[in-house]
Structure 1
């Protein structure tokens, strides 16, 4: 019964969440299940925070290599929790403008996120430069298309195209960019989304029917 009951709960919850879009009388039941989901999600956050404290606390205690990063993580977690739960004006939410939590989010978290994405963009550009080699017709087309799109989306490329007498007059660069992004790129993205949707439906059916049981733990 340790496996049958979770499978039954999964099947019933999944069917209710699906059927509520087709049967109006079941809409209230879908809202009820959403409330249960939010409650369970809250407990999951608490469990995740406790697990984070235990795992990183053990690493700091043993002073494993790189334990300083674990210390920074725990200090950031505790400071954020303290500012959000206790250090705020009465009658205000932690996310309200002017609170300490809002200042921490706008002046610490947001710049760090921007720096992280900037580093990620640099590594992507570096990897693309190493990977894009004209070894075949397909790779040559990919290299040329990527070069044109990148050229049209930076100020230097726009300045070059605008100073050319014929191409700048008729906005050839903008036309080519729109043609690539609105044609080939849009078609590729739709194909990827359709494939991902079919895969999502397949995995969902396997979970509802009890074929996929990895979320229960074990090897089944």
Structure 2
């Protein structure tokens, strides 16, 4: 029963949401609204469980003095500070001018911007390794990236401003982004959609059971 009940619930919800997409009328539409409310409640509990698990692991790391326990202190202190200030501010804690908004704007937002700034360097490093002309595919990728990047900066315009309209670097970059890039992007999106459909059907039909903790 520990496996059959979750599989039955998953099948009922999955087939109901599929049917309501084609038959958006009661009772299926009412069941869709009910399931949506359940999803919101479950997601809220999942967030709290994730927070509690993070705090538990952080406290355990601090007490055991394991590697990186100093960062765990920062996590715990930040969590306590944000929760305390949020409760102190009341229901308007997210309004501009509150202490909570000041913490978010002066601490959380700069940290998030720093993380994405560091991510840009990792992307640049990965691009350098990927754009090495080791084979035909990598050479095509390297040339396309070169033309697009050069067409997006002013120097590309000045270097090719003497060429006729349609042959300048900006025009070449736009052509690459409009045709081959868009075709590749659509192919990737189609593949993702087919993967989502196949995985969803496997879960609904009970073929895929890894979410239950089994094989």
TM-score with structure 2 length normalisation?
0.91
Structure 2: how far apart are the matches of 1:112 and 1:130?
Answer: 28
Q: Structure 1 205/169 Cα, relative in aligned 2: closer, same or farther at 3 Å? A: closer
Shift of 1:127: 2.3
Q: Give the corresponding residue for 1:146.
A: 145
Q: Give the corresponding residue for 2:76.
A: 74
Shift of 1:199: 0.5
Contact 1:88 1:94 (C-alpha < 8 Å) held by counterparts: yes
Q: Structure 1 172/59 Cα, relative in aligned 2: closer, same or farther at 3 Å? A: same
TM-superposition CA deviations, 1:53-93 (whole Å, max 9, x none): 11111111001111111111121122222222x1215xx43
> Which 5+ residue runs of structure 2 have no aligned equivalent?
none
SS at match of 2:104: helix
Q: Give the corresponding residue for 2:103.
A: 104
Shift of 1:159: 3.2
Structure 2: how far apart are the matches of 1:115 and 1:53?
Answer: 23
More deviation in 168-177 or 181-190? 168-177
**Alignment of 1:197 onto 2:197:** no
Contact 2:152 2:170 (C-alpha < 8 Å) held by counterparts: no
**Alignment of 1:131 onto 2:130:** yes
Structure 1: how far apart are the matches of 2:139 and 2:43?
Answer: 48
Shift of 1:176: 0.8
Shift of 1:153: 2.4
> Which 5+ residue runs of structure 1 have no aligned equivalent?
none
**Alignment of 1:4 onto 2:40:** no
Q: Which has the higher contact order (CA 8 A, sep 6+)?
A: 2
Q: Structure 1 169/212 Cα, relative in aligned 2: closer, same or farther at 3 Å? A: closer
Q: Structure 1 170/13 Cα, relative in aligned 2: closer, same or farther at 3 Å? A: closer
Shift of 1:184: 1.0
Structure 2: how far apart are the matches of 1:169 and 1:199?
Answer: 42
Q: Give the corresponding residue for 1:13.
A: 13
Match of 2:48 among 36, 46, 49: 46
Q: Structure 1 73/168 Cα, relative in aligned 2: closer, same or farther at 3 Å? A: farther
Structure 2: how far apart are the matches of 1:70 and 1:64?
Answer: 10
Structure 2: how far apart are the matches of 1:162 and 1:171?
Answer: 13
SS at match of 2:38: helix
**How many residues are paired up?**
213
Runs of 4+ in 1 over 3 A off after TM superposition: 167-171
TM-score with structure 1 length normalisation?
0.89
Q: Give the corresponding residue for 1:57.
A: 59
Spell out the pairing of 1:111-190 with structure 2 (5 A cutoff). 111-154=110-153, 158-162=154-158, 164-167=160-163, 172-190=168-186
